[in-house]
Amino acid sequence: MRSFIGLEIDETLKEEIASTTLSLKNKIDSARWVKRENLHLTLKFLGEIDAAILDELIPSISKALESQGSFEISLSRFGAFPNLKSARNLWVGIDKGRDEIKELAKRIDLITSDFWPSDKEAFAPHITVLRLKHQSDLSKSIDPKDDQILGRHIERINFVNIYESKLVPNGPIYEKIVEIPLAIDNRT
């Protein structure tokens, strides 16, 4: 099964992203916008994985995350990989909770290193909002005012999830198959 490890975001943050990207939809051509229900933050893409290997990984991931407290996140600004002038995708960054997410990704990368090589690029917490068919210059499409409303809402992250990604003609369908709780943390 095709899988990834990630963080689910709530409807409030999805609405914040949807309302912010609405003005961009007429400015950017040849884009596949991520469906609202598929907005999430990927910690580690696993790709095709045998269910037996996944069953073996789940207890290890749970153990590695048991001391990680829940935490709050907020959105920051738009960005692109590799950059806005030669973008392959557009994303919304994370402001509050950025360090905690990086720590989660580091722990997961360490646990999964027997099965997948560590990522060579530095992990940058983000939520992908669109993918482009061809590398494009988005620097003229993204106005600094476009991301001014980002960061107004805060969400508490209490779980790390493992998802199955089913590829269908209308785009992927993500199904949560495992929910791993983070330690309860009463900080606000």
Residues 134-152 have a mean pLDDT of 79
| Residues 43-80: tens digit of each pLDDT | 999 999 999 999 999 999 999 998 999 999 999 989 99
pLDDT recorded at residue 154: 92
| Residues 2-18: tens digit of each pLDDT | 999 999 999 999 999 99
Q: Which residue has the higher pLDDT, 141 or 176?
A: 176
Q: Is the pLDDT of residue 149 over 70?
A: no
Q: Which two tokens stand for residue 119?
A: 């990522």
Query: What is the reported pTM?
Result: 0.91
Least Cα distance to 81 among 122, 48, 45 occurs for: 122
Per residue, the 3-state secondary structure of 58-94, as one string, reads: HHHHHHHHCCCECEEECEEEEEEECCHHHEEEEEEEE
pLDDT recorded at residue 188: 46
Per residue, the 3-state secondary structure of the chain, as one string, reads: CEEEEEEECCHHHHHHHHHHHHHHCCCCCCEEECCHHHCEEEEEEEEECCHHHHHHHHHHHHHHHCCCECEEECEEEEEEECCHHHEEEEEEEECCCHHHHHHHHHHHHHHHCCCCCCCCCCCCCEEEEEEEEEEECCCCCCCHHHHCCCCCCCEEECEEEEEEEECCCCCCEEEEEEEEECECCCCC
Q: Is the pLDDT of residue 147 over 60?
A: yes
pLDDT recorded at residue 163: 97
Q: Percent of the chain having pLDDT more than 90?
A: 70
pLDDT recorded at residue 144: 62
